[in-house]
Amino acid sequence: MEISPLSSPLLPIDYDGYRSADVTDRLGLIQKYKGHDAVDKSMIQEPTYIWNGQPYRQLVGEHTKFELIVAAHVLEHVPNLIMFLNDMASILEKEGQLRLIFPDYRYCFDWSRQPSRLADIIAAYVENRTKPTSADVYDYFALVHTGGVRNVPTEHWAVSDEMLSETRVLTPSLDWHAAAMTEVTHSHAAYVDVHVWRFDSTTFYEYMSFLTKVGLLKLQLVNIVPAQKNNFEIFASFEHVSTVIES
C-alpha cells in the first residue's frame, strides 16, 4: 500500500495487490493541488481508501494486512508521529516493511527552523494530537518565509552545519509575523497543513531507537540512508518489533 502517492507513485499501480490511501478522492486532490505546477494532475489516481482520521486498521478492514507500506513526504506532515507509525504497524504483516522518505530539514526550505526534539515527539503522543499546533503553524509560516522558501538542496549543501546554525532564523520579519498569525487563527477552525517535524538522519535514528527501546513505538528502525550530497531525502525502513519492551 502507498500513502498519498499523488501524481508520483513509487510502486507499480497496475499490480493486483496495489492499494493507496489519501485524504480525499481524485477530484478533491486535483482541486487541492490546482495551484501546484509540480503536481501533474493527469497522473493522480483514484485512491483505494479515503482517510478521514480514523485508525488505519478500521480504514482498510480488521483482517487486511500489507507486506509493504510506502509513504514519501508524509512523515514530516503528521501531527502525531508515534501514533502514525503505530497505526502503520497495525496493518503491516508480521514480516512486512514500512518504508519512508522524508526531507533532511537542513537541505530543504525548513533549513531556517530549529530541529525537532524528542520531547516534541512525546508531547504530541501524550496529548493525542490530531492536527498541527499553533506553534507548528506559526513556526512554519513565519520562519520558512522569513528565511526564504529555498528548496534547492545544492545551495544548502554548500553551507557547513556551523554556518547554517549561525544563519538560522530566530525571529521573523514583521510582515511574515502578521501572515503567520493569520494562519494560526485560521488553524483554530480548520486543518492547516505544515511541516511539523524536522530531522536529520542522526537525530531520527537516535529518537526512533529510543522510542522502540522504551516501548512507545511498535516498530523498529532497521535501515536508514542519509541524504546524499546535493539531495535532501532520507530513506528509512521499519519492521515489527519482535518483543516490545514495557515502559
Q: What is the pLDDT of residue 155?
A: 85
Q: What is the pLDDT of residues 185-196, one digit of tens each?
A: 999 999 999 999
Give the model confidence (pLDDT) of 32-48 as tens digits: 999 888 899 999 999 99
- The domain limits of the chain are 53-240
- State the average pLDDT over residues 159-163: 70
Cell numbers 525502513: residue: 237
Given a cut of 60, whether residue 9 has pLDDT beyond it is yes
pLDDT for 147? 64
Query: Is the predicted pLDDT of residue 128 greater than 60, yes or no?
Result: yes
Q: What is the pLDDT of residue 160?
A: 67
Tell me: pLDDT of 244 over 80.
no
Summarize pLDDT for 194-217 with one digit per residue, the tens.
999 999 999 999 999 999 999 999
